[in-house]
Structure 1
Amino acid sequence: MKNIIITGTSRGIGYELALLFADAGHNVLALSRNMPKTLLDNEKITCLALDLAEPESLAQVNDFLKTSWKHVDALLHNAGALLHKPFSAITAKEFEYIYKVNVFGVAALNRVVLPFMKSGSHVITISSIGGVKGTVKFPGLSAYSSSKGAVITLSELLAEEYKEQGIAFNVLALGAVNTEMLQEAFPGYVAPLSAREMAEYIYEFTLTGNKYYNGKVLEVSSTTP
């Protein structure tokens, strides 16, 4: 059984992923600002309620890994913030917050977790197809999509830096998934895939994808977006 860290587990894809891994017998460290009771009550899931945009929160993760798990098999960067707003109306504070969650938080958590990873470990970053060069771009997503492009490049670079250690880094650039976050940003839009369906794909990729890919960006979308 593996030790899996998942961020953004309060709802949507992250919540479904935590349950999938726990139901399969894996140990899960769930990181999110809010924790559903179903995760708190699950004996295979350890919940840490924290905000990854705040540096002091990462000390809790480090302390847990040092005193409990000692090693990590997979890290799933699923947490994300989405802002749908014209560029001219986005404040500097709003733009910065999107990057704090979607980029700086990913980099900071990597720094904490990587010392606990060994050859065969897998780091997966959930990005967006809107962050992939050459794909269709949509107005109102300047902060979100550009931040998702940034973590793609970060993952590609880390794959090079850690390849001698046997730690794989891959990105799944998702299309539209019918999550609460999507509904909040685009009320009334119905995506073709549910959070559970996408979680099932990510679950399998987390466990086996590093056998076939490293430093790769896989577009996971049946539509555009």
Structure 2
Amino acid sequence: MSKHIIITGTSRGIGYQLVQLLAKQGHKILALSRNEQPVLDLNLDEVQTMAFDLCDESAYVKVSDFIKKEWGHVDILINNAGAIINKPYAETSFEDFTTVYKTNVFGVAELTRIVIPFMKSDGHVVTVSSMGGIQGSMKFPGLAAYSSSKGAVITLTELLAEEYKETGPQFNVLALGAVQTEMLEEAFPGYVANSSPLDMADYIQNFALTGHKYYNGKVLQVSNSTP
């Protein structure tokens, strides 16, 4: 059965691959990214795209209006967009932390809040986090803002699962290890990861479609390497 699925961060990497995989299965997609052109260029019938900045409060109204007018409900929300800064902690500024948290935490919280009223009891909110946000995992110097923000959305997900446990939807987090994306290359030039964006997108699409049957308020560590 065709689902209505919202995905953020779709202009490249995992999100870009997710759009194509889910559209190929016949699901209706709303692709949200600051740069909508890559998805527009795919020219996929089941996909609608919107230039969307998680840091722009007015943008959320557009999403709400779209759901009301076009879909009526949402089955799955995949919070995939992310921002990263790799900089020694002593050199980071208030603005650096604000920039990362606006996308990775505040944006996730606000979009989820906007979408929940349109979701049914068996809806599924999947947030993409990082192994860097897992307590006790290996940490890397320079990622204070990024990794701490990824830890924040794990706790947020646990709280939302508790708050909505009687009515749904379900909320889960996937803490990814290193994936060979453009964002990884920007943060760690030359680092070679074991997973490709397509491999990880394939895993995420399956989890988004079925994970709510087995998990709620859980964080799954999706990594075959230390980071």
Query: Which TM-score band applies after superposition, normalised by the shorter structure?
Result: over 0.9
Which residue of 186, 189, 206 corresponds with 1:187? 189
Rounded to whole Å, the distance in 2 between the matches of 1:135 and 1:141 is 13
How far off its partner does 1:54 sit?
A: 1.1
Rounded to whole Å, the distance in 2 between the matches of 1:153 and 1:37 is 32
Identify if the C-alpha distance between structure 1 residues 126 and 38 changes in structure 2 by more than 3 Å, giving closer, same or farther: closer
Which residue of 158, 166, 169 corresponds with 2:168? 166
Query: Which residue does the alignment assign to 1:126?
Result: 128
Q: Which string of whole-angstrom CA distances, capped at 9 and with x for unpartnered residues, describes residues 116-142 of structure 1? A: 001110000000001011111110000
Query: Which residue does the alignment assign to 2:33?
Result: 32
Identify if the C-alpha distance between structure 1 residues 125 and 38 changes in structure 2 by more than 3 Å, giving closer, same or farther: closer
Residue identity matched to 1:108: E
Contact 1:122 1:206 in 2 (8 A): yes
The TM-score with structure 2 as length reference comes to 0.97
Q: Which string of whole-angstrom CA distances, capped at 9 and with x for unpartnered residues, describes residues 75-126 of structure 1? A: 0000000111101111111111100000000010011100000111000000
Contact 2:11 2:39 in 1 (8 A): no
Which residue of 82, 89, 111 corresponds with 1:80? 82
Residue identity matched to 1:77: N
Which residue of 49, 52, 56 corresponds with 2:51? 49
Q: Which string of whole-angstrom CA distances, capped at 9 and with x for unpartnered residues, describes residues 14-71 of structure 1? A: 0000111101100000000002344452111110101011111101100100111000
CA RMSD between the two structures: 0.8
Rounded to whole Å, the distance in 2 between the matches of 1:200 and 1:162 is 28
Long gaps (5+) in structure 2:
none
Identity %: 61
Runs of 4+ that moved beyond 4 A: none
Aligned length: 225
The TM-score with structure 1 as length reference comes to 0.98
Rounded to whole Å, the distance in 2 between the matches of 1:52 and 1:131 is 20
